[in-house]
């Protein structure tokens, strides 16, 4: 579970553009597996899009 949480943290830090120096960002990502990082990023993007579509649907009153 620690590997998953570390990957989630790396993806979230990259998504919001925070993370300090380049060396710190590289250190966070180097310990994680690429397929896990990509899977987490994909799920978060799909969730964000679904949330935006849901809000737009509610705002349209449908």
Could you tell me which residues come within 8 angstroms of residue 4 by beta carbon, excluding any fewer than 6 positions away? 36, 40
Global pTM?
0.68
Domain spans of the chain, in order of start:
2-59
Instruction: Give the model's confidence band at 58: pLDDT under 50 very low, under 70 low, under 90 confident, else very high.
Output: very high
Tell me phi and psi for residue 61, to 5 degrees.
Answer: 80, 20
- State pLDDT tens for residues 4-57: 887 787 788 777 776 666 666 666 666 667 888 888 889 999 999 999 999 999
**Choice between 27 and 2, residue whose per-residue pLDDT is larger:** 2
The predicted pLDDT at position 21 comes to: 67
The predicted pLDDT at position 42 comes to: 92
């Amino acid at each position: 579970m620690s590997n998953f949480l570390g990957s989630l943290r790396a993806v979230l830090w990259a998504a919001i553009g925070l993370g300090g120096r380049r060396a710190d960002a590289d250190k966070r990502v180097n310990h994680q597996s690429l397929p896990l990082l990509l899977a987490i990023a994909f799920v978060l993007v799909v969730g964000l899009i679904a949330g935006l579509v849901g809000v737009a649907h509610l705002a349209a009153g449908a």
